[in-house]
Amino acid sequence: MAEIQVMKNILGENDRVAAENQALFAEKNVYVINLMGSPGAGKTSVLEKTMEKLKDKLKMAVIEGDLFTSKDADRIEKHGVPVIQINTAGGCHLDAPMVQKVAQKLDLDGLDLLVVENVGNLVCPAEFAVGEDDKGVVLSITEGDDKPMKYPLIFKESAIALLNKADLLPYCNFDMAAAKEDITTLHPGMDVIEVSCTRDQGLDEWCEWLLSRVAAKQKKGE
């Protein structure tokens, strides 16, 4: 019973700070997406392609979450996009207080889009809001088509799923139709896009999705 109460307290405090973050992002008219997925799913690669395609259309920044190192943040920085690294030192997810602390270091007045790349994990990140407008999940087809039903919460919570590394489909035992059916069963109406960073597949559709979300947020704030 005590463990349950502690968890409720942790989630409750996180939700309180997440609401503060969301209010700040709304005030600054910044669209925020919390990008989640397993280690190696290709989240950073998708982000790099996103920056290449949107650099002349949006002002964006990235918050990078990892257990250790700044390897992913270093990759983002090469694209000339402001990036702040959060190392959780073993923690399996980012939380709202972490994001609140580093968001103060960003020029939010000069941003349209903030991407929070969460720690690689299909479980915990889905449970902790950080103040985002939407969550998104990147699933590599090399992980298997059974993952949506094995880890349902992350798909239920996300507004979009990117099925990455689609170029490897001929070499993997991955049933694309079954995976999409499972995802939309968990979250009816959810956007699902097949993506390949090596073949530039699906990335324009993903970027258009982002642009539409940013535009909707900015219109709402007028």
Integer Cα distance of 6 and 212 in angstroms: 39
Can you give the pLDDT at residue 7? 54
Predicted confidence (pLDDT) per residue in 103-154, tens digit: 999 999 999 999 999 999 999 999 999 999 999 999 999 999 999 999 999 9
Give the model's confidence band at 220: pLDDT under 50 very low, under 70 low, under 90 confident, else very high.
confident
What is the CATH class of 28-220? alpha beta
Predicted confidence (pLDDT) per residue in 59-114, tens digit: 999 999 998 888 889 999 999 999 999 999 888 999 999 999 999 999 999 999 99
Give Cα 213 distance to the centre of its chain. 14
Amino acid at 177: A
For the chain, domain boundaries? 28-220
- The region, left, alpha or beta by phi > 0 then psi within -120 to 50, assigned to residue 167 is alpha
Question: What's the whole-number mean pLDDT along residues 36-65?
Answer: 96
pTM of the model: 0.94
